[in-house]
Amino acid sequence: EPEVTQTPSHQVTQMGQEVILRCVPISNHLYFYWYRQILGQKVEFLVSFYNNEISEKSEIFDDQFSVERPDGSNFTLKIRSTKLEDSAMYFCATQGTPMNTEAFFGQGTRLTVV
């Protein structure tokens, strides 16, 4: 069964440091997403990405965040100057088409900012 792979599974970083979260999408998928889940809360949309550009972003996704697909395979989320409140699970999701089809989620990266 195809799957979305995320690395690392757990990242601990000091406040103010930069982190890069990585995702390997399902091979024939073209639509990529990042979501965030603060402990015990709902899953929240951060950003959608298609054709090498952001197609939509939420209010959470401010200048501290960026995404790219540098080598045509990995899809990355970079968080600059991390804050304590960035601590959360970050999920990558991919879809073959943007509407009315299943979004496949990775297992997540747990980010802990200390």
Nearer to other proteins, 49 or 86 (CB): 49
Residue 61 CB, nearest distance to other proteins (Å)? 11
Give 37's strand partners: 43, 89
Using rule CB under 8 A, residue 91 touches other proteins? yes
Strands (E), 1-114: 5-7, 10-13, 19-24, 31-37, 43-50, 53-57, 65-68, 75-79, 88-95, 104-105, 109-113
Question: Pick from 17, 73, 81, 97: which binds other proteins (CB under 8 A)?
Answer: 97
Residue 81 CB, nearest distance to other proteins (Å)? 25
Nearer to other proteins, 54 or 114 (CB): 54
What's the rounded Cα separation, in Å, for the pair 70 and 22? Answer: 11
Respond yes or no on whether the N-terminal peptide bond of residue 8 is cis (omega within 30° of 0).
Answer: yes
What's the rounded Cα separation, in Å, for the pair 6 and 8? Answer: 6
Using rule CB under 8 A, residue 24 touches other proteins? no
Question: Pick from 27, 28, 42, 53: which binds other proteins (CB under 8 A)?
Answer: 42
Using rule CB under 8 A, residue 51 touches other proteins? no
Using rule CB under 8 A, residue 2 touches other proteins? no
